[in-house]
Structure 1
Amino acid sequence: MAVDFRFIIIGRGMMGAAAARHLSSMADGIALIGPREPAERKSHEGVFASHYDEARITRTFDGNLAWGSFAARALDRYRAIEARSGISFFSEVGCLFAAPDKSEQDYIDRALTVSRTLGSDIETIASSDLSRRFPYLAVGADFSGYFERKRAGYINPRALVCAQAMLAEQGGVTLIEATATSVRDTGTHVEVTIDGRRYSAERVLVAAGGFSNFHALLPRPVDTKVMARTVVFYEIGEREMAVFGDMPSTIVLGDREEDHIYILPPVRYPDGKIYLKLGGDTEMLSINRLEDAGAWFRSDGSAAERDHLCRIALQLMPALAGCPVTSGPCVANFTPTGYPYVGYTQSPRIAVLTGGNFVAAKSSDELGRLGAVLLTEGRLGDTDFGGELTPVFA
């Protein structure tokens, strides 16, 4: 039978929009399905996405070659995407890692090895120079720094998704602003249901992030853990801008995993105010149902996690004292392999692209490209780390 589309991508987030853009240069007959960002978060009853934000750290410095490679490939395309779309989203302010000399050394050594493989320029900064070079940061005398000046900084995820979707549409992709509620392999094609209406396609890529298991989108659920995380926003004034205005993106590795923290430079948000955003590695709530995910995204996050992050923030950045503080929700979608999933399900017509493991924003353009390659070629090769990306199902 004739189908409505050759390919349908479900999920208009960072990976799905990127997949649609890449696929538009490989094939015709493509649809990208996903709702737009809700106007009122706290009253919204539908699905959400974690890219509703203004800043995410981007870097290639990583202790894993696959993740470092995904980031490097994506970073190398940022400027071309900006130029073609006319939308700026990448601020190349650099990224600083700071870590105690006796802690996390295995990760640092692996990251330095990966950086050499990728040709990334990482400057090692002795503990005696760290506070002088980066005076906004108050770390102990046993801390050393690892600074990636180029191909690092932060991206605006909202703007990146907008640019990807714009270029996809210019390439012939049909954008359908709605929520898909079911995907079914009929044996000859795939049917996607949206608000009672059905669309048919030869193949479907489900790129619904933490919501991939919450509708009937997959033949079997993927093995992921969707964990609630809290982010903190410090409202920055002129006094604080004099301290933090020129800072790079920053990741501080503490002695304990729960003390790790990432810090975004001051960024202007849609309310017109400038915020310094930070978050950590602690998960306090597992999300297993659609209604629980909605309730979390409508909240202000965890008060206990906010207080924990604020204690660390004020130790590391005393100049934040007295700044107004707010918090917000985010989710992390973890896989047992530690890698994203890019592969087919039990159906040869339904593929899945998910599992960001809380580090995929910077790599989303490359992961989207891999999703497009999977749809058109049916598999991923070794240079694309295809074996590592094989989905695991619950």
Structure 2
Amino acid sequence: MAVDFRFIIIGRGMMGAAAARHLSSMADGIALIGPREPEERKAHHGVFASHYDEARITRTFDGNLAWGTFAARALDRYREIEAKSGISFFSEVGCLFAGPAPKSEQDYIERALTVSRTLGSNIETIAPSDLGQRFPYLAVPADFTGYFESKRAGYINPRALVRAQAKLAEQGGVSLIEATVTSLRDAGSHVEVTAGGRSYSAERVLVAAGGFSNFHALLPRPVDTRVMARTVALYEIGEREMAIFGHMPSTIVLGDREEDHIYILPPVPYPDGKTYLKLGGDTEALSFARLEDAGAWFRSDGSAAELAHLARVALQLMPELAGCPVTSAPCVANFTPTGYPYAGFTQSPRIAVLTGGNFVAAKSSDELGRLGAVLLAEGRLGDKDFGGELTPVFAAA
């Protein structure tokens, strides 16, 4: 039968919009389906996305070669995307890691230094005696060493990046359909997609719905992921604080365990007209298995207990924040048991899935979108794209 589209991408977030842009240079007959950001978050009862924010850290420094490669490939395309779309989203302010000296070759820092050499990234090692002088905004233990990536690092505005991707996708011939997909069915010769009360058909479909990929029965079988609650602290920055923090790089302070790391974004203007310095961690244990629970979390202000924890850490690391108003916001992180994103086909040869950001994927979203596009167009991913590592794991039938 004739289909409405050759390919449909479900999910208009960071990975889905990137997949649509890349696929537009490979094929015709593409649709990108997903809702826009709700105007009133606390009154919205549909799906959400985690890119509803103004800043995400970007860097290639990573203890895993695949993740470092995904980031480097994406970063190398940022300026081209900005130039072609006319939308700026990348601030190349650098990224600083600070932590104790590695104890073994398996420590995160040693692995990241090895990956950086492989990728050709320029990482400056800053001795503990010099760290405080170079980065006076940060108060860390006297034995901490710094690892500073000045190029191909800083932060991106995820909202602006998604706008840029969608704009270029549409210019490339992609049909943008502003609706929420509520059902998906392999009809044998094609896939039927229901969105916004209408039905669409396609030869192949890519589900790139982030933490919402298992909701609305979009997949023949749910992928094995944990959708975890995350709370961020937002410090309102005034003129005094801008003099102290205004030129800081993105910063990650290492803890005893990887989940104890704290990330800090420089002061960034937000839509409410205020400027915020944001920080967050990776320790919350609340997870969601139902759309209703995830939606309720996004309508909240996050966890008061986590905000209190982050506020204590913030004042230890940045004492000059004392007295600044602090608020919180909710987010979710979508973790896979493999530690890698999923990019592969489901039990249906016509339905593929791209998800599993593992709390580190925003910076790599353009490359992950490219992998989703290659998957749809060619039917598989090769070794140079880490195809084996990205094989989806599905929940038991």
> Same fold per TM (> 0.5)?
yes
1:258, CA displacement in angstroms?
5.2
1:283, CA displacement in angstroms?
1.8
1:106, CA displacement in angstroms?
1.0
Q: Equivalent residue of 1:264, what SS? A: strand
Partner of 1:91: 91
Structure 1: how far apart are the matches of 2:329 and 2:117? 37
Partner of 1:358: 359
1:199-222 CA-partner distances (Å, limit 9, x unpaired): 000000000000000111000000
One-letter amino acid of the structure 2 residue matched with residue 240 of structure 1: E
Structure 1: how far apart are the matches of 2:39 and 2:275? 20
1:328-381 CA-partner distances (Å, limit 9, x unpaired): 000000000000000000000000000000000000000000000000000000
Q: Report matched runs for 1:232-247 at 5 Å.
A: 232-247=233-248
Partner of 1:141: 142
CA contact (8 A) 1:103 1:255 kept: no
Partner of 2:37: 37
Structure 2: how far apart are the matches of 1:166 and 1:36? 13
TM-score under structure 1 length normalisation: 0.99
1:255, CA displacement in angstroms?
2.6
1:21-57 CA-partner distances (Å, limit 9, x unpaired): 0000000000000000000000001100000000000
Partner of 1:155: 156
Residue 20 (structure 1) aligned with residue 20 (structure 2):
yes
Partner of 2:185: 184
Partner of 2:52: 52
Q: Equivalent residue of 2:136, what SS? A: coil
1:259, CA displacement in angstroms?
3.6
One-letter amino acid of the structure 2 residue matched with residue 65 of structure 1: L
Structure 2: how far apart are the matches of 1:297 and 1:103? 39
Q: Equivalent residue of 1:181, what SS? A: strand
Partner of 1:254: 255
Root-mean-square deviation (CA), in Å? 0.9
Q: Equivalent residue of 1:364, what SS? A: helix
One-letter amino acid of the structure 2 residue matched with residue 18 of structure 1: A
| Equivalences, count | 394
Partner of 1:8: 8
Structure 2: how far apart are the matches of 1:383 and 1:259? 32
Partner of 2:390: 389
Structure 2: how far apart are the matches of 1:103 and 1:352? 38
Ranges in structure 1 where 5+ consecutive residues have no aligned partner: none
Q: List structure 1 segments (4+ residues) > 6 angstroms apart after TM superposition.
A: none
Partner of 1:327: 328
Structure 1: how far apart are the matches of 2:378 and 2:248? 43
Ranges in structure 2 where 5+ consecutive residues have no aligned partner: none
CA contact (8 A) 1:259 1:312 kept: no
One-letter amino acid of the structure 1 residue matched with residue 256 of structure 2: D
Partner of 2:65: 65
CA contact (8 A) 2:102 2:110 kept: no
One-letter amino acid of the structure 2 residue matched with residue 135 of structure 1: P
1:115-153 CA-partner distances (Å, limit 9, x unpaired): 000000000001000000000000011100000000000
1:103, CA displacement in angstroms?
6.2
Structure 1: how far apart are the matches of 2:15 and 2:225? 17
Percent identical pairs in the alignment equals: 88
Q: Report matched runs for 1:217-366 at 5 Å.
A: 217-257=218-258, 259-366=260-367
Structure 1: how far apart are the matches of 2:41 and 2:161? 20
TM-score under structure 2 length normalisation: 0.98
Q: Equivalent residue of 1:322, what SS? A: coil
Partner of 1:100: 100
CA contact (8 A) 2:102 2:109 kept: no
CA contact (8 A) 1:98 1:252 kept: yes
Structure 2: how far apart are the matches of 1:360 and 1:258? 16
One-letter amino acid of the structure 2 residue matched with residue 137 of structure 1: L
Q: Report matched runs for 1:192-231 at 5 Å.
A: 192-231=193-232
Q: Equivalent residue of 2:216, what SS? A: coil
Q: Equivalent residue of 1:166, what SS? A: helix
1:252-279 CA-partner distances (Å, limit 9, x unpaired): 0123455420000000000110000000
Partner of 1:367: 368
1:101, CA displacement in angstroms?
1.9
One-letter amino acid of the structure 1 residue matched with residue 66 of structure 2: A
One-letter amino acid of the structure 2 residue matched with residue 195 of structure 1: G
Q: Equivalent residue of 2:189, what SS? A: coil
Structure 2: how far apart are the matches of 1:298 and 1:307? 19
Structure 1: how far apart are the matches of 2:381 and 2:168? 24
Structure 2: how far apart are the matches of 1:119 and 1:106? 20
Partner of 2:132: 131
CA contact (8 A) 2:206 2:353 kept: yes
1:2-21 CA-partner distances (Å, limit 9, x unpaired): 00000000000000000000
Which deviates the most, 94-103 or 73-82?
94-103
Partner of 1:379: 380
Structure 1: how far apart are the matches of 2:59 and 2:102? 23
One-letter amino acid of the structure 2 residue matched with residue 372 of structure 1: A
One-letter amino acid of the structure 1 residue matched with residue 99 of structure 2: A
1:102, CA displacement in angstroms?
5.0
Structure 2: how far apart are the matches of 1:308 and 1:102? 26
Structure 2: how far apart are the matches of 1:19 and 1:255? 36
1:195, CA displacement in angstroms?
3.0
Q: Equivalent residue of 1:353, what SS? A: strand
Structure 1: how far apart are the matches of 2:158 and 2:378? 28
Q: Equivalent residue of 2:107, what SS? A: helix
